[in-house]
Structure 1
Amino acid sequence: MASFFEKRDPWGHSLSLWVVVLMIFVTPLLFGVLREIRQENNVENWLPEDDPQSKVLSWHRNSFGIEDRLLLSWDGSSLSDLRANRLKQVLLGTPDEENIRRGGSPYIQEVFTPQDAIQKMVDYHIEPDEAQERLKGVLVGTGMLKVQLTEAGRKRQQQTIQELISKAKQELGVDLTVKPAFKEWVDIVDESQGMQPEENAPDDDEDQVDFQALVAAIPAHDFQLIWPRMQPGTELTEQIKGLALSLKRPGIIPGTSAAEKPGGNDTSESQPVLVKDCFFAVGTPIAIAVELSDTGDADHAAAVAAVKKAAVEAGIPEDSLHLGGRPVAGAALNRMVKESSWNTAYPIWQFHRRSVTLFSGLIGIALAFLMLKSMRLACLVLLVSYYTTFVAVSIVPLTGGTMNMVLVVMPTLLTVLTLSGSIHVANYWKHAAHVDMKTAVTKAVEMARAPCVMASLTTAIGLASLLTSPLSPVRDFGLYSSIGCVISLLMVLYGLPSLLQLWPAKPPKASEIDVKHWHTFGRILSRHQMLVSVTCLIIFVVSCYGFKWFRTETKVIRYFPDSSRVIQDYLFLEENLSGITPVDTVICFDEAAQKNMNFVERVELVRQIEHKIAEHPEISGSISLADFRPVSEPLPPDASTFQKLRNAKRVNETERRVKESLEDGTVKSFLYVADKTVEMEQETDYGTRSVVVEKGDELWRITAQVAIMSDLDYGVLTSELNQATQSVLRDHAGTTHLVTGTIPLFLRTQQAVLESLIKSFGLAFAVIAIVMMILLRSTLAGLITMLPNLMPIGVIFGLLSWMRISVDIGTMITASVALGIAVDGTLHLLTWFKIGIREGKTKSEAVAAALGHCGPAMWQTSAAVGISLAMLYPAELLLVSRFGVLMCALITAALLADIIFLPALLAGPLGSLIVSSLKKERELAESVPLLQDGKETKPHLSHAIKRSQSERSLET
């Protein structure tokens, strides 16, 4: 039967022409589709809607009306800073006569300032100082460590600072940074713009808070100190305080003159103390919480840009502005993904920084030219590789999908896989073209078909196994990448051969296909197969031992370099003000509990739990509705009837007023009365706990702020918050609680990452192992063949674990990718080894011949792809940088496993199993005679002779 490439259409044209025409025809259509591609990197949408933690978070946000928020602060901000109110007005606009806001940003729903919160607390008869303290670590910070010098310390201030920095480095290993003393902001009126100063002083209203008085209460000091991951109250902070307070002026050396004495003319032989006090003072800096509208939530980049523009209009310099929160990280992530393709911040002569992805591609092109030693052949191979990627990526917007931080590496992966198959076909073509140019394409496709089909299908299976992941970005990656593998196979077996048939390259010279050194290498491996195999197994086992320290990481902020603006902003907020990430504890009072405890008693119980939560060292601050109510003392046991009645009336009136105010933003976000029955599940240390919220239950929300930049184990934190809450609620029947928010979601996502890695890789391994068993007709041979395929993953991921490097979602997907790449080389080598055995070669000769056929293609592919992927290392987005370096390491490990470990196994026990399997297959075929032309014949003989002649001609 004629090959596809030998057939002609009714007009006499080769079918290859129509393949190329189809490729050209769809190109402009797909360009139009690619223009519609969108990015979506919302971590909270990774888990499926039916995931227990997602359901709890969704219910929680719908109940309390919580929208996406970002935190905003700036250098030198304080409670007396009028720019806070100006910024609020710019963002929200100004109410007109009908109380309808005019102006403002469509991206902003609400703005919460600490001044508003403190004023509301004062309206409920809470002292301003106490109100300020309640907001500490939430919207009001303590800032840096303030240092107050003595008179002696001021005389030698610079020497004191240098001594303190030096001692902190030597004794504590801490790098201290010195900042000027806090100075209250002074409003500067710009008369040219008609700006009028705003008054923040108290008016005739007795309850109006005097914020300038609060800030003026901050004690005078000489300078401030800050250090990485600074937190008040920690052991390190106390050590630094003690070190500063212990500083003394050097003593007097007896017998020296006054001029020679330290301290000039001071003749005292005592050692005066240099530091009078070290303290943190609440009141500066402050943070503003900005709640995004639906429009802002749909476009985080535009919302963040609108906030920055409004801040500048309010008089806040952009350089001193600090933003934090999920919208900020999401917008920065999308921007850096784009900048990895083209970053105009770098000049064109720094092309390796301006576009790391394009630079990586150019390096791959240059290496392909170098390896294939043919300009036309290299161009065709690269054209097919990039065209495959172009078509596969176009499928994403075509099916309504979006790009994300995981899917962004798919183009690189498909380029790698297509380049690998194309270089194998190109090498087969060079061997065939050296014999006969007319049949070169047909022969090359015949020889490549079986290993390429098996390699692509097994790789597609490995990628499709990611569909078992509960994480949507991983599932998308598995789906689109497996489809891309099928497209890649079609391009390798039909696209490249069609191009070669229409525009053939020049036949290679004999020197270009000389593989004697590969034959020599194969014979050396065969002679030392036992030593090589044992050495590889030892490396594999030792590396895998590192998995005992295997850890996962899902914080998006970890994808940014330390020098990036978003990291610096996060550090400022967490070291000076509050944690970025909220964790919410919801206290539920059922009908019975509401009857047993009156409203004020419930307020005090919530306050007690909040204080318990705030005691946790990783909690910067917490807030609940109880903070907006004064502390109520319980009635004494001997209270009179009149006192009880008056108290009951006061409690009922308080409850009525609060619940009538449920539509008010402050109250609604902290108190909710359930309008329907909901059953939810939550993971605890003791398994899954079922929580049922009945209609009419009263729900109180406590929000605590936690640092995202620390190495805190969120699992431990969640467990400790559960224990702290339960220690209070266990004595109150009819109460229960839920811990929810971003932190439990992060924890569940971490678990899902680990589950995905294990399940998808396990499934891919099982399916590929079964394929190998069927292919080799031996269960044991199939399992042994998987060792070289597992080695790259075991060694590289094991070493990562040894080095205590956490596996993020981008790193995770490389395991299935590496398995597919390793299988590709394995199948090509096995195919040619079996051909050698069928021709009557010994195991050593078959190994040498197989390496001669496959070694050049595997080496060329690995070098071109590995080196080009390593060029992604300078990418500022660590997700891209790590992916490039890790893939380079995995490809290198896969190459070594395929050209060293696998040949050694084939020269040893694996080869013996394959020889035995082929011998049984031949004996079985010989024992089944068939009638042909009336005569009994053995069909395999003529077929084997023809195949042997064809393969020998190619090898020659």
Structure 2
Amino acid sequence: MSLNRQKNAYWFQLVIGALVLAVLAPISILGSQAALSTMFNAPGLWLPETLPVRAEYEEFTRRFQGQEIVMISWEDCELGSPEIPLAIAALQKYCVPSAPVPDELRYLGEEKGLPRHGDPIDESRWLAARRDAPDYLELLTSGQAIYDILNRPPASFSDQGIRARLAGALVGPDGKQTCLLATFSEAGHYLRNESLPRMAADVAKALGIEPADVRMAGPPIDGALLDHEATASIEKFTLPSCVLGAVICWLCLRSVLLTFVVLSVAMIGQGMSLAVVHLVGLEMNAILIVLPPLVFVLTASAGIHLSNYYLDVIESDPTIDPTAAARRAIQAGYVPCWLAAITTMIGLGSLGLVRLWPVSAFGVIAAGSVLGTLLMLLTMLPGAMQWHAITMQRRGLIKGRVQPRAAIDQRLRVWLDRHWQSLTGRILRYPIATVVLFTLLTVGTSTGMPLLTTSVNVPRMFPPDSLIHRDYQWFEDHLGPTINAELLVRMNRVMMPDIMEQFRLIRDLDDAIRRIEGVGGVMSARTFLPTPPATENRSVGAIVRETNIRKQIEGDDASLNRSGFFTVDEQGNPIWRVSFRFPFDNELDYRSELKRVQDIVDELIEELAPSDAVSLTYTGGIPMSTGSQDVLLDDLFRSFLAAFGVVAVVMILLLRSVIGGVLAMFPNLFPTITLFGVMGLIDMPLDIGSVMTASVALGIAVDATIHLLSRYSVEMKNGQTRHEAATEALRICGPAMWQTTAVCAISLSVYGLSPFVPTQRFALMMFGLLSAALIGDVFLMPAILASPLGKWLSRVSVE
């Protein structure tokens, strides 16, 4: 194509690109806002329903009203306190119409215009109050209500006995402190950011205290705080990150025009990544909030690489025609940039193998965003390059008088080039020793990889001084442990037909778990039923007590069925629930703690129950958390190996050498193995923010490798030695490598200031991985190229 036709084509592309951006701008803005409005975090629901741990959790929630329960308390929330019915009265309007009227309302005195204690409740009055209020709650009760149930027939336990049975679960260590229990409806759960503040405000108003003094804990609270912190992170740090990225981009390019085009594409790209989340019907969450900044820095990185090809052209030939300069830059950078983008997309796309759907969605959407922004850059940058060169010519900055960059910039560049050449000379003086040193370092740190652990513990996602930590600690001090687990004991009705035999087994399990150090808050059928008489005791009193217990379990009006700790499955097999809790402690290994319970339970079942008569299921908070951790760790390695394998195949095909492809991948393995290995050695767990970084960093790190190999291959074809070719390749590609690393790593590091731990960890991990990748590309890769191993890496040009 002639230069004149090419010139017109570039202008046309620039105009078309600008129009496309103008059309996408409002879509990206409105779509981003719509996506952020759907912020909803529920880590327990991120696992696929087909996994056993998720299926068991779903069965549990279906049979026993689930885990969406909020504990509500305050300083004077004590058994017998008149404040409890006042708080219940303030909240009962949010119950669904079918929910029973809370029995605690009997305690409201007639000074409130309500029945006296013990008088029948006028249910119509309370039910009418629900007509105009949202249906946030399925059920509302309290420790006081449970106390009353146990205090009257048929249980009729003593005051001391009741407090002992509820200790650590619904009654605090002082024997007085208790709490309200609000079971959320599906609507209330999804509207928790609206419902929880309203409920806290209503309770505070009824009691005459401040809303901040109303303490709440439970999964809906965890999710609401996750929503708030995730949204705050993106709102607070996106603009500073973009501004910093823009400044670094301008410092690298020293062109307002080129910087404007690159940043326009990057900003629209990050907005569209959020818009896609909304358009495909996904909810925003704590994982997807790091999607926009990642798309921004990847786009800026690609734009800097392409622009550097152009700046190298006009600086090597100041008299070149502007269109020719743009065409030569695109010809030189087209294939390497596409290959770099493809490897980045492979790294991101490999996250699609992760079974936690937010991570999977993150990878797929990010990969698609990289493709879209690269197409926009390739469409618009040729015209921008051409425009820039024409502008420079008109100002007399190209044809002989001044170089394209201002004089001060040129002196700075000369100074940087001199020191860069000095550095590269030192690096390549001992290439074999450098390769050996990096190999030993990689092998040494790899010993930490098997020691890696993961964590999806929600409280760990917040700093120690956060509201969730303060409230959890308050409940730990005033009531008892807060991190729950559930044991479901399914009895075979054929092999164990006697319900009393079953209950005695549950009693023994309850007693055994209560005796385990560090375990508290134990509740089961044992809490609601009298102690059964010994099997051999057939006295009249024992028979009467046993009959009473049987009626409470099996009778037409069996009270145990309403307790939430006993049910019968579709085959008629009884399912007994034993609930227990562990203390909230960031240092506690909940997997090991749960294993201690499991070992004791297994030993007791083996001793007391017929073989195969009992099946056990552990679910609830801790089993779900450990199950998610297992999936997270397994899928981390699976996705990384998939990304590594595909990228390695690409490198092998490019170099037409298996050995060459493996050697080219070594510098890209170095950062991941080193950083993750060190994390394993120092026992730092991976969380949901850092689990994605390995595959992402691999895809980004390969970018620089491809550009370096491209230049090395050209220099080798020009007849230079391996040492000379490696030196020249590093001299030419080095500035773009550290510039793109600076844009990516430093822009993302702004999010490291976030108090929200997943966002903070993602930013710091990416900074560490990209910095390590730069070290690998600047030190290790050139050393391999300059050593005898370089012969495997120059067999074919990757341009």
TM-score calculated relative to the size of structure 1:
0.74
Aligned to 1:395, which of 258, 273, 276? Answer: 276
Q: Does 1:608 align with 2:508?
A: yes
Displacement of 1:428? 0.9
Q: Is contact 1:593-1:732 (8 Å) kept?
A: no
Q: Which amino acid aligns with 2:763?
A: G
Q: Does 1:528 align with 2:430?
A: yes
3-state SS of 2:448 partner:
helix
Residues 384, 26 of structure 1: alpha-carbon distance in 2 compared, 3 angstrom cutoff: closer
3-state SS of 1:439 partner:
helix
3-state SS of 1:291 partner:
strand
Q: Which amino acid aligns with 2:228?
A: R
Q: Which amino acid aligns with 1:313?
A: K
Displacement of 1:115? 1.1
Q: Is contact 1:609-1:725 (8 Å) kept?
A: yes
Displacement of 1:498? 3.8
Aligned to 1:101, which of 122, 127, 130? Answer: 127
Q: Does 1:116 align with 2:16?
A: no
Displacement of 1:311? 2.0
Q: Which amino acid aligns with 2:504?
A: E
3-state SS of 2:265 partner:
helix
Q: Does 1:443 align with 2:328?
A: yes
> Structure 1, residues 367-421: CA drift from partner, whole Å, max 9, x if none?
2222222233222222222222222222111111222111111112111211111
Question: Structure 1 residues 642-651 or 370-379, which shifts more?
Answer: 642-651
Q: Is contact 1:323-1:569 (8 Å) kept?
A: yes
1:745-784 counterparts in 2 under 5 A? 745-784=624-663
- 2:742 matched residue in structure 1: 863
1:353-368 counterparts in 2 under 5 A? 355-368=236-249
3-state SS of 2:79 partner:
coil
Query: Aligned partners of 1:467 and 1:860: how far apart in 2?
Result: 29
- 1:323 matched residue in structure 2: 216
Displacement of 1:7? 7.4
Size of the alignment, in residue pairs?
741
Query: Aligned partners of 1:101 and 1:610: how far apart in 2?
Result: 38
> Structure 1, residues 469-512: CA drift from partner, whole Å, max 9, x if none?
11111111111111112113212322333444456563524937
Query: Aligned partners of 1:586 and 1:5: how far apart in 2?
Result: 75
1:258-657 counterparts in 2 under 5 A? 281-283=174-176, 285-315=177-207, 316-342=209-235, 355-434=236-315, 435=317, 436=320, 437-501=322-386, 506=392, 508-509=404-405, 511=410, 515=417, 517-595=419-497, 597=498, 599-634=499-534, 636=536, 639=538, 650=548, 653-657=551-555
Question: What is the aligned-residue RMSD (CA, Å)?
Answer: 2.6
3-state SS of 1:48 partner:
coil
3-state SS of 2:751 partner:
coil
Q: Does 1:732 align with 2:732?
A: no
Q: Is contact 2:553-2:559 (8 Å) kept?
A: no
- 2:97 matched residue in structure 1: none
Q: Is contact 1:20-1:498 (8 Å) kept?
A: no
1:120-139 counterparts in 2 under 5 A? 120-123=149-152, 124-139=155-170
Query: Aligned partners of 1:643 and 1:87: how far apart in 2?
Result: 42
Question: Structure 1 residues 884-893 or 493-502, which shifts more?
Answer: 493-502
Query: Aligned partners of 1:99 and 1:540: how far apart in 2?
Result: 72
Query: Aligned partners of 1:536 and 1:13: how far apart in 2?
Result: 48
Question: Structure 1 residues 23-32 or 846-855, which shifts more?
Answer: 23-32
Query: Aligned partners of 1:632 and 1:85: how far apart in 2?
Result: 34
- 2:696 matched residue in structure 1: 817
Q: Is contact 1:126-1:629 (8 Å) kept?
A: no
Query: Aligned partners of 2:427 and 2:621: how far apart in 1?
Result: 54
- 1:53 matched residue in structure 2: 53
Residues 369, 764 of structure 1: alpha-carbon distance in 2 compared, 3 angstrom cutoff: same
Q: Is contact 1:388-1:491 (8 Å) kept?
A: no
Residues 650, 548 of structure 1: alpha-carbon distance in 2 compared, 3 angstrom cutoff: closer
Query: Aligned partners of 2:3 and 2:572: how far apart in 1?
Result: 75
3-state SS of 1:743 partner:
helix
Query: Aligned partners of 1:732 and 1:36: how far apart in 2?
Result: 56
- 2:108 matched residue in structure 1: none
Displacement of 1:133? 0.9
Displacement of 1:4? 12
Displacement of 1:618? 2.5
Gaps of at least 5 residues in structure 1 are 143-280, 343-354, 676-694, 922-943, 948-956
Q: Which amino acid aligns with 1:325?
A: G
> Structure 1, residues 196-218: CA drift from partner, whole Å, max 9, x if none?
xxxxxxxxxxxxxxxxxxxxxxx
Q: Is contact 1:325-1:581 (8 Å) kept?
A: no
- 2:111 matched residue in structure 1: none
> Structure 1, residues 606-665: CA drift from partner, whole Å, max 9, x if none?
12111111222221221112211122323646x47x88986775565444436545774x
Displacement of 1:131? 0.4
Q: Does 1:64 align with 2:90?
A: no
Of all paired residues, the percent bearing the same amino acid is 27
- 1:840 matched residue in structure 2: 719
Displacement of 1:110? 1.8
Q: Does 1:27 align with 2:25?
A: yes
Q: Which amino acid aligns with 1:290?
A: A
3-state SS of 2:428 partner:
helix
Gaps of at least 5 residues in structure 2 are 94-100, 102-120, 393-397, 399-403
Query: Aligned partners of 1:645 and 1:804: how far apart in 2?
Result: 57
> Structure 1, residues 661-717: CA drift from partner, whole Å, max 9, x if none?
5774x2xx1111112xxxxxxxxxxxxxxxxxxx11111111112224343323223
- 1:230 matched residue in structure 2: none
Query: Aligned partners of 1:6 and 1:313: how far apart in 2?
Result: 73
Q: Is contact 2:475-2:481 (8 Å) kept?
A: yes
Q: Which amino acid aligns with 2:568?
A: V
- 1:36 matched residue in structure 2: 34
Residues 87, 341 of structure 1: alpha-carbon distance in 2 compared, 3 angstrom cutoff: same
Query: Aligned partners of 1:634 and 1:903: how far apart in 2?
Result: 80
Displacement of 1:33? 2.8
Q: Which amino acid aligns with 1:22?
A: V
Residues 301, 2 of structure 1: alpha-carbon distance in 2 compared, 3 angstrom cutoff: farther
> Structure 1, residues 125-151: CA drift from partner, whole Å, max 9, x if none?
211111011111101111xxxxxxxxx
Question: Structure 1 residues 768-777 or 94-103, which shifts more?
Answer: 94-103
Q: Which amino acid aligns with 2:640?
A: F
Displacement of 1:594? 4.7
Residues 75, 533 of structure 1: alpha-carbon distance in 2 compared, 3 angstrom cutoff: same
Residues 750, 413 of structure 1: alpha-carbon distance in 2 compared, 3 angstrom cutoff: same
3-state SS of 1:78 partner:
coil
Query: Aligned partners of 1:5 and 1:614: how far apart in 2?
Result: 84
Query: Aligned partners of 2:227 and 2:160: how far apart in 1?
Result: 42
Query: Aligned partners of 2:74 and 2:435: how far apart in 1?
Result: 61
Q: Is contact 2:347-2:697 (8 Å) kept?
A: no
Instruction: Name the larger-Rg structure.
Output: 1
Displacement of 1:309? 1.0
Residues 5, 632 of structure 1: alpha-carbon distance in 2 compared, 3 angstrom cutoff: farther
- 1:673 matched residue in structure 2: 568
Q: Is contact 1:111-1:291 (8 Å) kept?
A: yes
Aligned to 1:723, which of 593, 599, 610? Answer: 599
Query: Aligned partners of 1:725 and 1:860: how far apart in 2?
Result: 59
Query: Aligned partners of 1:836 and 1:860: how far apart in 2?
Result: 22
Q: Does 1:700 align with 2:576?
A: yes
Displacement of 1:523? 3.6
Q: Which amino acid aligns with 1:832?
A: R
Residues 67, 530 of structure 1: alpha-carbon distance in 2 compared, 3 angstrom cutoff: closer
Query: Aligned partners of 1:377 and 1:840: how far apart in 2?
Result: 35
